[in-house]
Structures are given as C-alpha cells and as structure tokens.
Structure 1
Amino acid sequence: MTYRPNLVRRTPFPDSVSRAVVTPLQPSVVYSSPDPDALDDQYEGRAKGYTYGREGHPNADVLAQMIDRLEGGEGGIVTGSGMSAVTATLLGLLSAGDHIVGGNQLYGRSLRMLTRDLPRWGITATLADPTDVAAMEAAITPDTRLLLVEVVSNPTLRIADMAGIERLARERGLILVVDNTFTTPYGYPAFVKGADVVIHSVTKLLAGHSDVTLGYILARDPAQRTAIYDTFVTLGLTPSPWDCWMAERGLYSFDMRFERAQTNAAALAEAVADHPAIAAVIYPGRADHPDHARARTLLGGQFGNMLSFRLHGGREAANALTRAAPQIAFAPTLGDIGTTLSHPASSSHRGLTEEGRAELGITEGFFRVSVGCEPIDLLRSDIIRALDAVAKG
C-alpha cells in the first residue's frame, strides 16, 4: 500500500513568541470556531472573532483602524470600492419615499446613482450648489433625510460651505454624509468637524499607487453603523484581503506623499496659469479661485494635490494635449504616486448630457490633474511641452 499522509488542513500555523513586523496577509474566506456556542458568542457580540470573509476579515480591520485614526473615529468599514461605500451608505440609511439633497458637482457615478438608480427604488434626490447654503436649504423637502456633499468637488474643485451645511444638517435633523476623497483627513477632518458619515474612495490618495480598489465608511451613530454594515454584508461589497494589505502599505507613506504632491500642485498651477493654451486654471490655493477665501479658512492652507484647467479649444485640443504628454498617464483616476491627466467629458462625467456638463463648466477642453510626487522640474517641463503642442495646433 502506498504511503500517502494526509496534509489537508492538518498543518497548524506555527506558534511563536515573536511577532511579524509586517501585517500577515490572511486570504482565508472561512474561519473555524470550536463549537456552536462559540459561533453564537461571535455573532451576538460576546466574543471577537471571524466567521465568513464577506462579513469581515483581519486585513480589512487593520486598514479600517488606520483610517479611523486619521478621521478621529472608530468602527469604520472597508468596502470593495469607493462607489460600494456610497451604495452601502445610501441603501443602508434610506428607504422608499425618502429624499436626498446632494451637491450638484459630485463624482459622476454618484450623480448617476442619485438621479437614475435610486429613483428606481423609490428614493428621490435634488441637486443643489454646495457653495450656497441657501440653495441647499431650498432643496429640502418634508421627505428629506440626508445631505450628501464633497468638501472639494470633483472635478471643478469648488469648495463647499461646510460650516453652513453642518449647521443646516443639525438644525433640520438631517444625516450629513461627506465624501472626503479629494480632501482626505489631512486637508479637512470631516468627522471631527461634525459629519455624521464620512466616505472615502481608498483607491485614490490614501492607498496612493493605483493598485487597489477599496472604499471606507465611518458612521457616528451606532444604529446607523449597524444599518450600513448589514447592507454591506447583504450586498456582498466585501474588500479583498490583498487590496487591504496593499492599501495598508500605501498608508504608511500617505503623509509624505500628501505633502509632496500638494507642493507640486501649487507650483504647477502657477507655472501654467499664463500659458497661451490655457483659458483658466482652477486651484483652490490661487487667489483667483472663486472660493479661495473659504478654502483658506476651511482647509487651513492644505489646498491639496488636485488642480483643473480649461484649454482654449475643444476635443481636438484635448487630444493634442494627451498625445504630446505620453509620459503622463491619461487615465480616469486620481491619487497615484505619479501625475495623471483625466478628461471628465469622456470619463467620469460622460453620463451627463453636454448641457449638463456645460452647466458645471466641464467643456471638451477641461482637464483634471491629479498631481503626483515626481520632481517638480520634470513635471513642469512635461506639462508645458504638451501645452506648447496645443498652442501650436
């Protein structure tokens, strides 16, 4: 008889008096408990443990606790993407018949969810200008339950009147949900300032290397946190342990990347402002930004790594720019270690009508720049060389 020892699930992980410096990657989908009583204890909150990967896993918890510390809260949930964080929050907190007031310059897919997807489930939305608290208040109806805003809008970089919106939410008894992706907690500590729920696309600047897709939700009220978590589990919006592990690694350099990219963005905005190919540069740190005074007060001088500009000309000028800058990634993303160029009319906001984009100032010559950590001299020369090509055209 052939000797075939059984190796399947019979080799325990070695015990050790020392511990790993790097967080172990734990891809297990299932976790074994000693008996049904122990499983009851876990599900009913008397013991801490893991059961099934869709309900949570160690790598997600490590990452959530790190972002919790950045935001100044506890009990955050890591989800499979930024939009899954938006989805779990809205579906977890709202029911048919409820109404949302959303900022009119949200991320394109958030706009689509509010105006096209949620209405199919009986949840309606009105969009209003978050820089104008009176406009936000005028949009409130007796059925309004929630306000959804971005501190810095995507991609037009307008600055919401957060002090006024926070006051409005308190006075009217509404849940204030803040998408803090662009700003990050370093730019604006939304949770500390009074948001009821904070959302992040961790995919972006927090993880910072364009190699993970994750979201994050932090809710202040325990009942709301439970409602969001239950929706997250039911819809299967589970994050990958690998992505959580990679994002944790990215977070360790977040503060350095944030400062370097922000410094580069300010320098680049100044460098291109007077170029003949440029119709307008939009950067909150510039005195000509329409919300500069508010940005200076609200953000405390942390104007971020995002800038936008509008070219003279339309799609032909846009094509000329990207073709003349092959070393800068033209991609519908932001927050990478390197600079990326995005064209909202053909990516994030392509779902809007041409008229809808025009109302937001998003022309065919409009670009959003996620400034990275390259040497500024190199980045400046690359961008100016591409702008020169547009001007010659």
Structure 2
Amino acid sequence: MPGLQGMPGLPVGALREAGLSALREGQVVVVTLAAGAGSRWTQGAGVVKALHPFCKLAGRHRTFIETHLAKSRRLSRVADMPLPHVFTTSYLTHDPIAGFLEREKNYGYEGPLLLSPGRSVGLRMIPTVRDLRFAWEEMPQQLLDQQQQKVRDSLRAALIQWARTAGEAGDYTDNLPFQCLHPVGHWYEVPNLFRNGVLLELMRERPQLKYLLLHNIDTLGADVDPALLGLHIHSGAFLTFEVVSRRIDDRGGGLARVNGRVRLVEGLAVPREEEEFALSYYNSMTTWIDLHKLMSVFGLARDDLADDDKVTTAIRSLAARMPTYITLKEVKKRWGHGQEDVFPVTQFEKLWGDMTGLPEVDCRFVIVPRMRGLQLKDQAQLDGWLRDGSAAYVESLCEWQ
C-alpha cells in the first residue's frame, strides 16, 4: 500500500513478502459485513445495500458484492491461491443475497464463497418515559413556529402517555413481526461464524487458516493488502484496526485514550456530541484478526466449534462484558384503509470496536489513506468519491469477471 512505513528493523518489502507468504499458504479469509438494511443509504427505506449497483466501474454498474469479489479475485491470482470470501447476512438480507448470487453464478468467483447467516436477533422494546423526555426535552431540538410547536408537543405528550400505559421497557409486540425485530449490532457477526458452522467448515477445508480480514460492505477500498497483513503478523496483535484521519462529517466515534489505554470509542459512548470532534482519527471498522488468539478470548479452541452448547455459552459470557447501547427508532403501525401511526421504540446493539476495551485483547492501530478507509454511507458521497480519485483507486484493486 502506498505510504506504508515498515516496523523498526523490518522494511515494507519484508512485510509485504510475509503477507504474500500467508496468502500463498491459504492462511487468510475475507469477512465482509452485509447484514444491515442500509437505511442510511436510502434515507429511510430498508434495502439490501450489498446488491445495489451503486457506481459504474470498468464500463458497467457494479454492486458492492461484485466489487469486493473482484478485489479478492485479483489477490487470489497474485498469490496463486483461491482466497475464501465470506459475506455475513441477517434475517433481513440472507435470502435476497443468496438468491442474487445464485442468479449471478457468484460472479464467476473461483475461490470459496460462503454466506454466514445471522444467529442473533433482538426484540424491540417500548421506551421508558425517561428515554422519551431525554430525547425530546434535553437533546437539541429544532424550534418551530407557535402552531407547529403546539402540534408537536401534543403528539409527544400522547406518545409519552402511550409508553406509560403500554408498559415502559416492555417487549414491543403490537405490530408485524418484522417491525418488532431488529439487528443487534455488528459485534455479533464474528461470533456468528462460530455458531453457524461457517468457520468450522473453513477450518476443516483449510486447517492452516490463521487470519481474518473483517470490513464493512461499504468500505470499498479495503482489501487483503499484503504489506498490512505482514504488519499485523509481525506485530503479534490479537486485532489490528485501520483508522483514517477524521473529517467534519465523520460520525461514529474514533481513536481515543481512555484511562491510559488507547482504544476505539463508539459515538454512542461519547458523553457530548461536541467531544467527538476532538478525536483525530475515525474508525474505518476494517480489522485484521488473529483467529486463534480471538478464539482464546472467547475461551474456545478449534475442536470446540462443533459443540453448539459450549460455543453459545462462550459467546454469551463475552457478550455480557461488552457495552450495550440503547437507541430510539421509529416504526410504522399500519391500521389499514390508509391509516398509519409512527411509534418510538427502543432497541439495543453491541459494537465491534468495543473489543479494544477488553484488557486481555492486545490491539494495534494503523493509519491508512482515506481512499482505503472511507465508508460510503450516503449516496450523496458518490460525487466526491468519484472526483477525488477514490473510485479509480478501487477500480485499480479489482479484476473483473
């Protein structure tokens, strides 16, 4: 990768060769997170973002999945070893992605291509009155004119009364099932590999498997860069996170020092919104993982993956140590005949970046160019992404079918 500096006594060339050696020996697998509904991408509508033909590359509109597979295809041919690629899914995205890949014949990808179906789902809850008052009375609000303000205040008073009478913090079940359920955060995507048998299958086919590259579906510049892989190998870290220099519109936390420990802090954990602007580096979520060390954090060994009860217990034990974030969401309840209401509900999630807060997990952080670490969360970013050379950079990483 351009601009990468070697470790003391270990030049970039040596790091790159170490990474290429791991690729040639089949020690690496790519894991792409594709379980979300992509509501930010559409400004509200739920879609399978991974399947969106978002941009024209090499003369054709390409989906996110096709672009990631094109990068893995190039690296497979560079290393002369098929690179396994796993896409994580959820109850929202699994069937559409599976059907799409079947119709597209996996875009002709020669290596192992697997879907990792989600094994965790949450049930939304009725918010507490305190939740609603905090969101509506203590957080910054847009000021409306007098009549509009009266209408909004009346609506909010009615919703507070609804929460009180429906049972604060109770299960939200008074709607269609899909409106009552929710994804539980990307922390669970790696443990899902333990639970659904995908990792066990990979390790049986490739006993030499040692490293995972985990990244979001919208981090298009991320690939198995041999030099970065070599850097992770020689560091001996459990996890190596890629961060980018923060810009004003980056949201979602970043790199900070907490109680003397350098770690990632999620945006939901920052006490005040303005404090997030003081962080210099933004979390791209791209993570290099030492598989065996990660399994040891869960208290698991390779042979334990076949024991469902032991795996489930291990995941729940570590999950209990991870922070849980409660967020407010709005859901529609349709009464029929064109009548519908919007209700606030709460849901919880656990986030992968909080692994850096565990004292026994040795983490490293590497600053990468923005072209590599940028996440495309909003279609409004596409124009700048094309103009600043990021699209051309991604295209240079790909080898199309």
Pairwise same-fold verdict (TM > 0.5): no
Structure with more relative contact order (C-alpha pairs < 8 Å, separation 6 or more): 2
Q: TM-score, with normalisation over the residues of structure 2?
A: 0.25
Q: TM-score, with normalisation over the residues of structure 1?
A: 0.26
